[in-house]
Structure 1
Amino acid sequence: MRQPRHGRPVRRPRVSSAGGREGAPSAPAGTCWLFGTHAVAAALNNPRRVYERLLVTEENHPALEEATRSGRGVRVAPELVQRQRLDDLLGPDAVHQGVALLARVLPPMPLDEALERPGPVLVLDQVTDPRNIGAILRSAAAFGAACLVVQDRNAPEETAVLAKAASGALETVPMVREVNLSRAIEQLQKSGCWTVGLDAGGTTLDGASFDGRRVALVLGAEGKGLRRLTRESCDEIAGLYMPGEMESLNVSVAAAVGLYELVRRGMPSAYQKAAAKKPT
């Protein structure tokens, strides 16, 4: 994207007959394989998530048990498998950390329901890379965003790659899928959000124009930026101050910097109160 310069412990596993090097099964319709300790533990602790199989290697079972100890518990018996089984199932390049979960895809959340959650909103205009979206979800969780809004036909489905990049944030930040992004922006505006398109050619994102308002930050795809109709739908176009020689940032990095700026300058009182309540 172009930017301007200015509960219960896991039960002991049973040995699975699924070990070995047979062909990797494909996930049934409506499900996907999640892998990695953070992504799987977060899914297991998510009350909205329904899962069907949990595969774990013997050496990684204690780590998974510890990660889910304070959560809601595990409602499926873990299956003990060899690491090679997970390599065959997920591919040689998957950093699975010895654990995989077959889970049902999360049910979609309507925008009006997602807006009942506090915090800023992120809107993505045809960002299609699942790793970027996963990284954006991670930043959204870190900075207390309410939700991530994407255009349904131009956004990737829930996948293991997306969930791994999100490092558990897929379970805590709802993804709202909308058919018409301009109408979604209009709905955000009617709900009291000041919509800021992050793109070249605008003022510097410094919080001056939305002080005290709830903000929806709209980001475009890398290279293309915001589409014309999306850009025209926003209340304001702003960019990140970048005094260095680079003229653009990866969209996930831009989202993280933009969210930080909102927290630091745009909505300080709410976050200062939240920080004051945290134990030291």
Structure 2
Amino acid sequence: MKLEFLGHDERYIVEQSLMTLFPLEKPTYDAVQPEDEAWCRLAAEETAADCQVTAELHYHGYTAAWTFASPLTGTDFEKEGQRRYAVAACFYLAFLDLYPKLPEALRAAEKLTLPPWGMLTGVRPDKPITRALMEGKTPEEAKRELKARYFVPEERAALALETGAVGYQALKRLEKRDIDLYVGIPFCPTRCAYCSFVSQSVERSFSLVEPYVKALIAEIRAGGEMVRKNHLRPRTFYMGGGTPGILTPDQMDAILTALEESFDLSACPEITVEIGRPDTITAEKLAVLKSHGVTRV
């Protein structure tokens, strides 16, 4: 899909939305031409008070348009986020205007569906909920904000509230010298359409996995020494990615062994390893996780 921006250059957020709304489209950037089959022109104008965005969306002979305004307040950094939100919301609402106009055959061919999480992208739909609770909002206010601001349906908003509330309670129980440990494995079999993380497909970077694991183990041991020296206490451990399931059983065993030898995990009620891709898990890998006391997959 050709993307033409006027008055802004919010490529990242629009590309994330594009992957969700039009999964088969790749972004290109140039002025729209009459013969183009798929394009969106997003224009933004700012005043001292707000950012006004207009979207013109054209898809295989069908068109939609939308206008959206978002207040601009606070610091330059806060205004940057408000501008980004306005552009993403306008693009999403133009898609909602377009969607019912499209024939079912075209929707099926292009894999177009109504996003179950509204305009949210990425992998943490509970994040806005947790942030709202931290700001002092009630659970009902936090859920209402998620529905109104990000157009999340009631059922998914309730699920995000349930998850976000648990995260908020976990955050509140942390004491001054408590920490959470995260180990990242930035490799995947292939890149998922929804992914907004920095990651590499193993098919393109397989030779990097083993040296990465060796460097990671060295960093785990150095991190453990730093934690002991500063009298910090690990409260949770999470290995994510990418997807750690891409590791071999021996690599997984080596990383978890280094973790156990470097950190005192006795105060951790939860030790989690993410297996985001079912096609990466085997009985042998599950046995390794079990042998290291992993409590959640």
Q: TM-score, normalised by structure 2?
A: 0.29
**Does 1 or 2 have the higher relative contact order (CA < 8 Å, sep 6+)?**
1
